[in-house]
Each structure stands twice: as C-alpha cells, then as structure tokens.
Structure 1
Amino acid sequence: MQIRDLPYTDPGEPDTRSGPRFLIWLGRMQLGGQCKSLAWGLLHFLSIAALPYGVGIAVEAVVAGESGGLALAGGVLAVFGIGVAAGDLMLHRTSVTNWITAAARVQQLLARRTAVLGAALTRRVAAGEVVAVSTGDVEKIGWFVEALSRFTAAAVTVLAVCAALLVYQPALGGVVAVGVPVLALAVLPLLPPATRRADHQREKAGRATELASDTVAGLRVLRGIGGEQLFLGRYRDASQEVRRAAVRSARMWALISAVQVLLPGLLLVGVVWYGVHLAQLGRITVGELVTVYSAVMLLAYPLRHFEEIAMAYSFSRPSAQRAARVLGLRREDAGADAVPAGPGGEVPRGDLYDPATGLLAPEGVLTAVVCGDPDLAGRLAERLGGHAPRDEDAAPVPSALLGGAALDELPLAVVRAAVLVQDKDPVLLSGTLAELLDVPSSGRVAGTEALTAAYCGDVLEALAQASAEPDGDPMRTRITERGRSLSGGQRQRLALARSLVADPPVLVLDEPTSAVDAHTESRIAARLRASRAGRTTVVLTSSPLLLDGAERVVLIDGGAAAAVGTHQELLRRDPRYRAVVTRETEAEQDAREASGPRGTGERNEIEEKA
C-alpha cells in the first residue's frame, strides 16, 4: 500500500477485543509494508555493523605494510557505506509510509464507526475521548506500527553481530555476547513505572481536552451566566495537572535513556580493558581489537531502538485500547443489516406509526405532535427515526413502523434513506454554505427554494457581508464549526433548509423553530407545508404558528396519543391541549369556565389570536 493509493477501499474489520489485539491486527493488515521496512532495515543496520570489519582490515594492512590490504579495506568500506546510505533512505521512506497508512486506516475505521453510530456515539463516549482518539491516539498508534519493523531489524542485527564476534574472536566475542543481552534487558524493570506515569499523563490530558471541548461548546451559555472565569480556572488547574504528570513521566523516560547510554559505555570500557590485556599476551592482534571495539561502539545505535519500541508500545497501548473501545461500539440494531428491506430492497413507503404512543402520521401529510414533556418528545423523535433507545433496566420499547415494516429490523442505509430526523439542536459542519446544502437528495427541492422556505434571507445577507469573495457570494462564505458564528435561530433555519434539500420521504422535525422569533416563525410555518407537499412530515412542537399550519395535530398526554384533530378543533374541545399550547394553568381554566358567557367570548378571542 502506497500513500498515493489512500484512502483504503476497505479498511477491514478490526479486532477490538483489546488494545494489544488491535495493534496485532493492524500490523497484520500491513504485513507487506512491514516486510519491506524490515528488509531495508536489515540492510542499513548490518551495513553499519560490518563497517568495523573493513576498519580492522585497514589496521592490519597498515601494521603489515600491505597496500593491497588497504585497497581491499577501501572497497569493503565503500560497499558497506553504500548499503548504509541506501538502507537508511529506503528504511525512512517505508517506515513513514507504514506510519501514515496505519494512521489513515485507523482514521477511516473511526469515520466509518462514527457514521454508523451517528448521534448515539456522543451519548456513549465522551466528546473529549472521541477527539483524543481521532487526533493524538492515531499518531501514537502509527508510531508503534512504524517502529516495529525497525526494532525487529535492530534486534536481528544485534544477534547477528554477537554471533559473528563469537566466531571472529571467541575471547572478546564471549564478553560481548554476555553483555549485550544484559544491556537490552536492563531497562525492563523501569518500563512498568514509566508506563504507569505515561498512562496517568494521558488520563489527565484526556480530561483537560474534554473540559476544553465542553467549554468551547457551551461558550455562549457561559458568557450568558458569567461563568467564563470559573471554567477558565478549572481548565487552568487541569492544565497544571497535565504539566506535572508530563514532568514525572519525562523524568522516568530520561532515566531510561541515561541507562541506555551508561551501560553500553561500561561494556565498551570493559571490552577495551580486556582486549588490551589479551593483546599484551599476544592472543589477539591490534586489528582484531579495533574491529571488536568498533563493533561494540556501533551496537549502541541499534540498541537505541529497544528503548524506542518500549516507549512506542507504552504510549500506543492505551491509545489502541481507546480506539478499540470506540471501534467496538455497535448499534443495538446492527445485526439487522442483513435483513432485506422488502421486494427488491426498496425504501419502504406508507404511514409512520409509533406503537409505544399510538401516534399515526399518515403518508403525505404534515402532522404536528404536541407533547408537554420535552424529554418524551426527544425520545419519540429518535424512535420515529429508527433509533429506539434501549434501557437495560426498563421494558423494551417497540420500534416505529413505516408502511408496516419495523424500522429497527431494516438495514441502516434503508432507514436513513427513508427517514430523516432533525434534532432540536442540529449540527452544522464547517465549510461553505454551498457545501452545507450539498447533501444526498431527491433533486426535487433546489437549494434556493429550501433557503426561501426556511426564511433565510437575513442569514444570506449576513454571510454575504462576511464573505471573502469579491462578489460577496453567500454560497461561498465559510461557516465555522457548528455554526458558532451564527445565532441559534440562524443555525436552526440553515439546518431546516438542509433538511428540505434532502427531501426524504419522511422528515421528522424536533422543535425546528424554538430559537426563532414569532415573525420569522410565521413565515416558516406558511412555507413549510407547501415545500413538503406530498411528503410525510412530522413536527414536534408546541408553537401555535406551526400547529395552525399543520394538516393534522396529535396530542401526546401521559405517554399516549390522547387527541387528534386540527389546531383550532383541539383548542376548542380539549383543555389538555389548550393548557400545553396556550400555557393556561388549571386555576386560570377554572376561573374562565366559571366566568360564564363572557368567559366564552374571551376564550374565542384567545383562540383566534392563537
């Protein structure tokens, strides 16, 4: 796999049982790249390890006064020098390729899982954790995958050098063969505390990231209540905890690095001392001593990769654990993807029915739903969209039916093609207005028509003024993340326009105008019905303006459909409906009923205004 071939056509199905299993799966998926990196790593490290052999030949030639030996030494050094350069170049290239492709694979897996889970993701995983996984954790996982092949090449080189020295000079080679494994294993006792400190640092960093994400998301509210300084102080404290944890972690890794420098130095001193003693006894030549000394000195380079792989694994293991946790999340109805949608797999049509409440939304009709409990309305909207919430401690909630087919028994793609739910707090992704409206759609409703229906004239004017384009085209003006540069009402109207452009067979709107003023709301109510003519639309609202424009109004009381009719009919005959819509209290209702005929006239006047 090359970088130019990204993204993957299919990133695969990861092993999410644990962090180490996920890392093993990731390495197995990139076996070809790992083998290439290993081959070039062996060429690089073995060429470095063989350089002392050429140096030894040169020293022997100088001592013996042989010019031919010097020429041979020069040729050997030239060949190994080319091997060092070529191996280093290609090792770096293949290692970076492994890093980037591994990170890209994880990011694709995360994007796919996010798309499958939808809004359920942030209900089951903290937003800060999702951000940490998709940014820093991806880099750390890629680092381990990239370092693995280099470590393997370094380990093979160390073993090969020890074996070669035993054959070349058994006396000194035996000292090296015993000392090198000690060097490699000396840091093992230090790794557990270093790993614990690193985990503690990442835990603190994750909490700080989550706090920052929540603070930014609620900045408008914080300013409204004057809580900026309070949360600033909390974030400052969290940042200091991260700093202290990072310092403690860095101290331990500095100790490991010091050990990796100190012990090879002691081994080198021991080899030189023992080698000089053997040379004085005439058991080895000066050239052999120089060769063994040079080999031991150069072994410090591949031995550094033992420390790197320990650090990479220590940092990547919890990152892989978090990634596996997110990737292991499943929708409750994920197993239904294999169930056919119907004849030919087409999108189901017909009436939308919720067995839990008895709500019926006839096909092609604009149905408004009045529910006094906002939480119940939110759960109802989720069920109508095929996201039936399940609580282990509560009784199972039956799925909504579309044309007689249970939504949670249909493939996810089919449900999303049939039903679109707009939450009461819709999300606007960063990008231009044209990109915002560039969504999968039927093509029946153009972007300009949808903007007009959602009464976005003032929004377009504001975007035109903020446009960086010479012609001030609002369609090419960038919208910041989550539409933070817009007011709540402007965000709601742009989200409504996006939903109208999508033009799904069934559109469920949960309080689509709660942040809009009455004048604008009246314009939207007049245009919504015309824009959705022939399509099934369910609007959960208590706004009299939207209710008066609906063809059918359903009152949900006590968790069940209690009354059905038009807005005016329900105002006249149902006191429960009137209490929700007009905010009339029981005392006011009793007083009005006791006032007799005059009260009736006042009621009619109130109804006309409503």
Structure 2
Amino acid sequence: MQIHDLPYPDPGVPDARSGPRFLWWLWRNQLGGQLKALAWGLLHFVAVSALPFCVGFAVQAVVDRSGTRLALTGALMLLCGTAIAVGDTFLHRAAVTNWITAAARVQQLLARKAAELGSVLTRRVAAGEVVAVSTGDVEKIGWFVEAVSRFTAAAVTVVVVCAGLLVYQPALGTVVAAGLPVVAVAVLPLLPRATRRADVQREKAGRATELASDTVAGLRVLRGIGGEELFLDRYRHASQEVRHAAVRSARMWSLISAVQVLLPGLLLIAVVWYGVHLVREGRIAVGELVTVYSSVMVLSYPLQHFEEIAMSYSFSRPSAKRAARVLSLERSAVAGGAARGAAGGDRAEVPRGDLYDPATGLSAPAGRLTAVVCGDPDTAGRLAERLGGHPTEPGRPVLLGGTPLDGLPLDLARTAVLVQDKDPVLLSGTLRELLDVPASGAVTAADALAAARCEDVLDALVQGSLVAADPMDARITERGRSLSGGQRQRLALARSLVTDPEVLVLDEPTSAVDSHTEARIAEGLRRLRSGRTTVVFTSSPLLLERADRVVLVHEDEVVATGTHRELFESDPRYRAVVTRETDDQPAADDEDALLDALGELAEIEESA
C-alpha cells in the first residue's frame, strides 16, 4: 500500500482485544511495507557500520605504505557512502509510508465504527476521548508501527558488527560483545516507571481535551448562566496538571537518554584503554585499534533506536488501548458477528410488522402513531436507543415483525428503523445537501418541510444568505448555530421525514417550539406518516391527542396503554407527567385540566 492508494478499500477487521494485540494486528497488515523498511534499514545501518572498517584499513595501509590497499579502501568507502545515501533515502520513504498508512488505517477503522454506532458512540465513550483517539493517538500508533522495522534493522546491525569484531579482532571484539548487551538493556529497569508517567500524562491530557470539548459544545449555555470563568478555571487547572505530568515524564526520558549516552561512552573508554595496552604490547596493529574504536562510536547510532522503540511503545500503548476500546464496541453484546455475517450474504428484505421491546413490554402497532410517555427523560433516551437496534440487555433484542433488529445488517436495520434523538445535529452545507439523505423517494423535501412547519425557517435562511434566492441553496452554518433551537429541531424533523423509514422513532421532536406550531406539526406528522409506524416520545398534550395509541412507561416498564383522554382520566401517574404537577403544587381538578387542554387544542386548530 502506497500513500497515493489511500484510503484502503477495506481497512479490515481489527483485533481489538487489547492495545498490544491491536498494534500487532496493524504491523501484520502492512508486512510488505515493513519488509521494505527493514531491507533499506539494513543497507543503511550496515553501510554506516562498515565505514570504521574502511577507515581502519586505510590507516593501516598508510602505516604499511601500501598505495594499492589505500586505493582499494577508498573505493570501498565510496561504495559505503553511496549505500548510506541510497539506504537512508529509501528507508525514510518507506518509514513515512508505513507511518501514514498505519495512521490512515486506524482513522478509517474509527470512522467506520462511528458510522456504525452513530450517536450511541458518545453515550458509551466520552466525546473528548473519541477526539483524542482520532487525532493525536493515531499519530502515536503509527509511530510505533513504523519504528518496529527500523529497530529490527538496528538490532540486526549491532549483532552483525559484534560478530564482525569478534572475527576481526577477538581480544577487543570480546570486550565490545560483552559491553553492548549491557548498554542495550541498561534502560529496561527505567522503562516501567517511564511508561507509567507517560500513561498519567496521556490520561490527564485526555481529560483536558474532554473538558475543552464539552466547554466548547456548551459555550452558549455557559454564557447564559455566566459560567465561562468557572469552566475556564477548571481547564486552566487541568492544563497545569497536564504540564506537570509532562515535565515528570520528560525527566524520566531525559534520564534514559543520559544513560544511553553515558554507557556507550564508558564502553568506548574501556575499549580505548584496553586497545592502547594491546598496541603497546604489539598484540594488535594501530589500524585495528582505529577500526574497533570507530565501530564502537558508530554503534551509538543504531543503539539510539533502542531508546526510540521504548519511547514509541510507551506512548503508543495507551493510545492503542483507547483505540481498541472504541473499536471493540458493538451495536449490542451479540450483534457484531451476526450482522457482519448477514451482510456478506444475499440482501434481505426490510422486515415489517409491529415493533416490540421485550425488556419494557412496549409495543408499537404497524402503521400507527404511538406516543410514549416517560416520567424520566433519561429513560426515554435509553428506550429510543433500544428501539433503534441497540439493546442494553443481552439476549433481549427489539423485534420488528418478529425479527431481531440487532441481528440485521447495519444498513438494513437503519432502513427499517430511524431514531431521531433529542439533540439532533445539523451538518454545515446547503439545505438541499442537508435533505439529500438515503430515502424511499415517497416523501419529497417540500412535503417534509411543510409537515415540519419550516416556512419561517426557509425565510430566515434566504434572508441570512447573500447570494441564494432559493432556500434550498441557502447555507446552514456549523451545527445550525445561526438558527434558533426550534428552527433546528424542525429542520432535523424534516430530514427524518424525508427518509421515510418503515419505523420512525422521535424523541421529543417539538420540545423547542411554541404550542401553535406544535399543533400544526402534530397534524402534519400524522398525515405524512399515515400507514407507517411512528413512535414519539413526548409529554405534550398536543402530540398525545393526535396519537392513535399512548403508552405510559414507569420505571422501565409499560404500566398503562390507551388513548390520551382515557389515560388522563384514569391514571394519576400519567396525569402527573402530562400536567407536570408536583407534590407541592398538585393539579386543582383533573377534569377541568383535561377540558382546558382540549379547549386549547380546539382553539389552535381553528386559528390554523
């Protein structure tokens, strides 16, 4: 795989059981690039290590006054220099390719997982952690995967040079062969502490990133309550903790670097001292001493890769652990393998029938509008997630026409059931691009916008645009920040209606609009979704009155079913949720409250 071939047609199925296993899987999946880097690395390192032998031969040729040997040595040095240049050039090329392709593979895997899980991802993993994994962590993972081949080439070179010195000059070669393993492994006792400090640094950095992400996302709310300074102080404190952790980690790595400089220096002193003693005794020639001395000096270059591989692993291991954690997430505890297996066969038909959740007992009849009332908004969010094919209880999947949703291929499940959560996201772009989503084609953009009562939204988009006369060509800013909450909510509803899924699940779709608009949306939703299964989580009487069937969920269990009027008259728990009465302020009279709500609805319909 070359850089110009990216992205991968298929990044593969990662081994996400642990961080080290994920790193090993990445290395194996770019074996060709690793072997190229290893070959060029061996050429480069061996050529560098051969230079001292050439220098020693040249010195000895001068001592012996042999012009022929000096010329031959010069030719060998020229050959080594060429090999060094060529090896270094192509080693760098192969190393960068391995780095980028490994990082790109991880990013593709993360993007695929995010598309597979959707909004469920940020409910299982903090948003800051997802941002950290998809930005800084992929670079560190790519660094280690790339560094393995260079380290292997350096290690092989050290072994070859030691063997060559033993053959060339056994006396000094024995000293070098005995000292180099000590130099290479001397930093190992320091690595666990350095790794722990690096882990602490990465953990604190992840927390700071998460805090910054949450602060930016909630900046409007923070300004509304005057909480900017509070969160700014928290971020300052978090960033200072990251700085202190980074300094402590850097101190340990500087100690490791100092050891990597000190020990080779001591070995060099020992070689020179013993070599001079041997020269005085006439046991070795001056050229042989120069060769061994130069070889030990040059070996400090490949030995640096021992420190680099330790550092890259220490930084990449927690990054790989976080990436593996995200990549190991599945739509449900049992869905992953079944869904992938089904996707590989013939395409199945979209299941049809009643939507049933065995965990709560909730049933939404096919082709009807079912409203679900929950006293706890968090319960509504979890139940909406379950209805979308993400069960929280293994072995109890949601059924659509008797077919488990979490066992369907992902694209088929999303064709069957679409969930619009409480806070839908509007991507930047034109309104035409926003509504250009996978759809059945039965619902036009104009019909969806009309049903969602987006007339004022279209006017606002045209007025806010400098060039677009057609509202479909007007641009929507990032996350729809130029629009009000109600306008964003209605555009998101229109986008969901355009898709025309078999089952549409809406979580509080009108919580940010006024009552008159809400009544019109309820009528438009009922009309446009006629014959389709629709589930709406709401406590608004205006929507509940339009529902064919209303279900009350209390403590994660269906406790009552009927029409809005029936439940309002017969069930105190339902009445308490709909009227928002509390123990301190109970409803004055149940029948009067019902009549008032119905009178308000009739008045709104007449004005429409």
Report the TM-score, using the length of structure 1 for normalisation: 0.88
Corresponding residue of 1:87 = 87
Corresponding position: 1:437 with 2:452? no
Q: 2: distance between equivalents of 1:298 and 1:468?
A: 66
What amino acid is the match of 1:451?
Answer: L
Corresponding residue of 1:42 = 42
Give the superposition deviation at 1:191.
1.4
Q: 2: distance between equivalents of 1:262 and 1:431?
A: 59
Give the superposition deviation at 1:22.
2.0
Work out which of the residue numbers 518, 535, 551 in structure 2 matches 1:521.
518
Work out which of the residue numbers 337, 340, 355 in structure 1 matches 2:339.
337
Alignment check: 8 A CA contact 1:433 1:479 kept: no
| CA RMSD of superposed structures (Å) | 3.2
Q: Tell me, what secondary structure is at the counterpart of 1:421?
A: strand
- After superposition, the Cα gap between the structure-2 partners of 1:20 and 1:165, relative to the gap in structure 1 and judged at 3 Å, is same
Alignment check: 8 A CA contact 2:368 2:548 kept: yes
What amino acid is the match of 2:237?
Answer: D
Alignment check: 8 A CA contact 2:541 2:597 kept: no
Corresponding position: 1:352 with 2:348? no
Corresponding residue of 2:389 = 386
Moved more, 233-242 or 581-590: 581-590
Q: 2: distance between equivalents of 1:255 and 1:277?
A: 33
Corresponding residue of 2:506 = 509
Give the superposition deviation at 1:472.
8.8
Corresponding position: 1:499 with 2:490? no
Alignment check: 8 A CA contact 2:140 2:312 kept: yes
What amino acid is the match of 2:160?
Answer: A
Alignment check: 8 A CA contact 2:519 2:601 kept: no
Corresponding residue of 1:297 = 297
Work out which of the residue numbers 552, 559, 562 in structure 2 matches 1:556.
552
Q: 2: distance between equivalents of 1:313 and 1:592?
A: 67
Give the superposition deviation at 1:340.
6.5
Corresponding residue of 1:148 = 148
- After superposition, the Cα gap between the structure-2 partners of 1:583 and 1:313, relative to the gap in structure 1 and judged at 3 Å, is closer
Q: 1: distance between equivalents of 2:368 and 2:117?
A: 29
What amino acid is the match of 1:502?
Answer: T
Q: 1: distance between equivalents of 2:527 and 2:504?
A: 14
Moved more, 279-288 or 571-580: 571-580
Corresponding position: 1:489 with 2:490? no
Q: 2: distance between equivalents of 1:159 and 1:316?
A: 27
Deviations 1:48-67 (A, max 9, x none): 11112222232233333333
Q: 2: distance between equivalents of 1:573 and 1:411?
A: 42
Q: Tell me, what secondary structure is at the counterpart of 2:505?
A: strand
Q: Tell me, what secondary structure is at the counterpart of 1:11?
A: coil
Corresponding residue of 2:193 = 193
- After superposition, the Cα gap between the structure-2 partners of 1:47 and 1:478, relative to the gap in structure 1 and judged at 3 Å, is farther
Percent of residue pairs identical:
70
Q: 2: distance between equivalents of 1:344 and 1:247?
A: 56
Corresponding residue of 2:231 = 231
What amino acid is the match of 1:554?
Answer: V
What amino acid is the match of 1:312?
Answer: S
Alignment of 1:417-436 (within 5 A): 417-436=415-434
- After superposition, the Cα gap between the structure-2 partners of 1:38 and 1:412, relative to the gap in structure 1 and judged at 3 Å, is same
Corresponding residue of 1:131 = 131
Q: Tell me, what secondary structure is at the counterpart of 1:345?
A: coil
Give the superposition deviation at 1:399.
4.2
Q: 1: distance between equivalents of 2:197 and 2:231?
A: 27
Alignment check: 8 A CA contact 1:506 1:535 kept: yes
Alignment of 1:78-477 (within 5 A): 78-330=78-330, 331-334=332-335, 335-337=337-339, 345-355=348-358, 359-390=362-393, 398-464=396-462, 475=473, 477=475
Alignment check: 8 A CA contact 1:106 1:138 kept: yes
Alignment check: 8 A CA contact 2:468 2:474 kept: no
Alignment check: 8 A CA contact 1:571 1:607 kept: no
Give the superposition deviation at 1:511.
0.8
Give the superposition deviation at 1:385.
2.2
Q: 1: distance between equivalents of 2:117 and 2:596?
A: 51
What amino acid is the match of 2:70?
Answer: L
State the aligned residue count: 598
Give the superposition deviation at 1:366.
3.3
- After superposition, the Cα gap between the structure-2 partners of 1:478 and 1:258, relative to the gap in structure 1 and judged at 3 Å, is farther
Q: 1: distance between equivalents of 2:203 and 2:363?
A: 48
Q: 2: distance between equivalents of 1:6 and 1:174?
A: 49
Corresponding residue of 1:62 = 62
Alignment check: 8 A CA contact 2:354 2:365 kept: yes
Give the superposition deviation at 1:359.
4.7
Give the superposition deviation at 1:607.
6.3
Q: 1: distance between equivalents of 2:30 and 2:590?
A: 76
- After superposition, the Cα gap between the structure-2 partners of 1:255 and 1:471, relative to the gap in structure 1 and judged at 3 Å, is farther
- After superposition, the Cα gap between the structure-2 partners of 1:459 and 1:469, relative to the gap in structure 1 and judged at 3 Å, is same
Alignment check: 8 A CA contact 1:339 1:409 kept: no
Q: 2: distance between equivalents of 1:528 and 1:557?
A: 23
Give the superposition deviation at 1:498.
1.8
Q: 2: distance between equivalents of 1:207 and 1:39?
A: 41
What amino acid is the match of 1:120?
Answer: V
Moved more, 76-85 or 405-414: 405-414
Alignment check: 8 A CA contact 2:431 2:471 kept: no
Q: Tell me, what secondary structure is at the counterpart of 1:80?
A: helix
What amino acid is the match of 2:201?
Answer: Q
What amino acid is the match of 1:160?
Answer: V
Q: 2: distance between equivalents of 1:73 and 1:407?
A: 75
What amino acid is the match of 1:78?
Answer: L
Q: 2: distance between equivalents of 1:384 and 1:523?
A: 26
Deviations 1:476-526 (A, max 9, x none): 63532x444543223212221221222211111111110123343344334
Q: 2: distance between equivalents of 1:225 and 1:35?
A: 59
What amino acid is the match of 2:78?
Answer: A
Q: 2: distance between equivalents of 1:272 and 1:358?
A: 84
Alignment check: 8 A CA contact 1:359 1:554 kept: no
Q: 2: distance between equivalents of 1:108 and 1:575?
A: 52
What amino acid is the match of 2:295?
Answer: A
Q: 2: distance between equivalents of 1:463 and 1:300?
A: 65
- After superposition, the Cα gap between the structure-2 partners of 1:454 and 1:277, relative to the gap in structure 1 and judged at 3 Å, is same
Q: 2: distance between equivalents of 1:18 and 1:577?
A: 47
- After superposition, the Cα gap between the structure-2 partners of 1:157 and 1:7, relative to the gap in structure 1 and judged at 3 Å, is same
Give the superposition deviation at 1:237.
0.7
Deviations 1:333-387 (A, max 9, x none): 4154378699972011123344566554343333334444434433432333233
Q: 2: distance between equivalents of 1:440 and 1:600?
A: 41
What amino acid is the match of 1:439?
Answer: V
Q: 1: distance between equivalents of 2:84 and 2:432?
A: 53
Alignment check: 8 A CA contact 1:340 1:411 kept: yes
Give the superposition deviation at 1:229.
1.2
Moved more, 301-310 or 320-329: 320-329
Q: 2: distance between equivalents of 1:355 and 1:417?
A: 22
Q: Tell me, what secondary structure is at the counterpart of 2:295?
A: helix
Give the superposition deviation at 1:153.
0.3
What amino acid is the match of 1:107?
Answer: Q
Alignment check: 8 A CA contact 1:483 1:491 kept: yes
Structure 2 stretches lacking a partner, 5+ long: none
Q: Tell me, what secondary structure is at the counterpart of 2:438?
A: coil
Q: 1: distance between equivalents of 2:108 and 2:64?
A: 64
Give the superposition deviation at 1:575.
7.4
Alignment check: 8 A CA contact 2:374 2:552 kept: yes
Moved more, 405-414 or 510-519: 405-414
